Structure 1
């Protein structure tokens, strides 16, 4: 099976660098709406069997133009949400952003027992994301393609662990709003990373170079761009 893991469009908290990881989360900015509107044309070469989103508003809004264009529903699935920031939720100071990123990197290097400050450890994240993906795979044939609109940190970490990327390669992954990872395989035989598209699917003109996009950037880059604490 082929999974197209698409990150949601831009939100106000992506612009200011806040760790917005709770449900329902922020809506899209005007740029985020434009990014979402560009997805159907960008994915025109894929025969999409189904479109999935998380319980967060931003993923559902991002998935809607594609689903509407293909005559499909947006299926909301628990378990695909962003990695919780725990005690760091909605903070944007460099120390908090750095702690969040350092925890993600530790998981990518195999230290799944390390907890997010005031939040879950890597085992808990991987278990719930694996379960959600497994349920999706069970509904499709081996030749199907499904689009899953999810979140920056969740896509990066799950891809790294599921595709067996080495720690440094995984830590260097970046994914801007409406960037995409393409994975092929299944839970039994394993997953292979077939494509990593770090920029917006609609093209570079839809990227916001001035945003402090902490869940889509590498941990090092995010921590080097401090913004006022929220």
Structure 2
């Protein structure tokens, strides 16, 4: 099985984070608070959509697939059940003319949450409903158990500690390998931090320490499974993007 991991396009949170970092004066308390924990800066929203740039990035990857310029031809499509991932996968689904199965274990590290500064804890928030996600990608399909009803949100997958993502990554890889044949090309739209856990699990590495492997917005990598630990074919290919549209 070949597994193509695609990071979602730039989200509005990515934009706000860049602006927040740019606005802070190095050495100031505000700057230090932001850089100490970039996921908890002021203005972050739990389940953000793509920015205008993120939509262009997703559409560019879809055009590359349609024009046979992408280095892969997926036989199966999966996406994290977050708005930004589902928006990213739609151009790929349109190009490949294939449905997208929402993958409950593919969401970002920590799950959908807000951060409570006084207690330094994450507070759970629900994800989108299936009806909301279908507005962004009509070909999305939900596995049993993810939604109780199409108009009810999924749980959001809160994780109190980042380390909880490790077993989830291992479980996801095991399920994909069990579900697919050796010749299948499986594409999964997921997230920057969670991709680090997936790579560590696939390559037999220790748990990730920060961003070990760079993966830009709509950047993709290829893992190939043939028995033991996976082989890495390529990492962070972004040739479908104009240089000015590359973002991290």
Shorter chain as normaliser: what TM range?
A: 0.5 to 0.7
- Is residue 2:188 matched to residue 1:148? yes
Cα pair distance change 1:121/1:172, threshold 3 Å: closer
8 Å CA contact retained: 2:214, 2:236:
no
Relative to structure 2, which stretch is displaced further, 143-152 or 77-86? Answer: 77-86
SS at match of 1:178: coil
Relative to structure 2, which stretch is displaced further, 168-177 or 70-79? Answer: 168-177
1:177-199 residue CA offsets vs partner (Å, 9 max, x unmatched): 1111211106x522122110164
> Alignment RMSD, CA only?
3.2
Distance in 2, matches of 1:169 and 1:200, equals 27
Note the 1:1-230 alignment, pairs <5 A. 1-17=1-17, 19=39, 25-43=47-65, 44=68, 45-84=71-110, 89=115, 119-122=160-163, 124-165=164-205, 171-185=211-225, 189-197=228-236, 199=238, 201-208=240-247, 213=248
Cα pair distance change 1:31/1:147, threshold 3 Å: same
Could you list the runs of 5+ residues in structure 2 that have no partner in the other structure?
Answer: 18-37, 121-158
8 Å CA contact retained: 1:178, 1:200:
no
8 Å CA contact retained: 1:184, 1:192:
yes
Residue in structure 1 matched with residue 31 of structure 2 by the alignment: none
1:56-111 residue CA offsets vs partner (Å, 9 max, x unmatched): 111011001101111111110101111117987498xxxx9xxxxxxxxxxxxxxx
SS at match of 1:190: coil
Q: Which has the larger radius of gyration?
A: 2
**Number of aligned pairs?**
181
8 Å CA contact retained: 1:175, 1:199:
no
Cα pair distance change 1:26/1:90, threshold 3 Å: farther
SS at match of 1:3: strand
Question: TM-score, with normalisation over the residues of structure 2?
Answer: 0.63
SS at match of 1:62: helix
Distance in 2, matches of 1:175 and 1:90, equals 28
Residue in structure 2 matched with residue 218 of structure 1 by the alignment: none
8 Å CA contact retained: 1:200, 1:206:
no
Could you list the runs of 5+ residues in structure 1 that have no partner in the other structure?
Answer: 97-117, 214-230
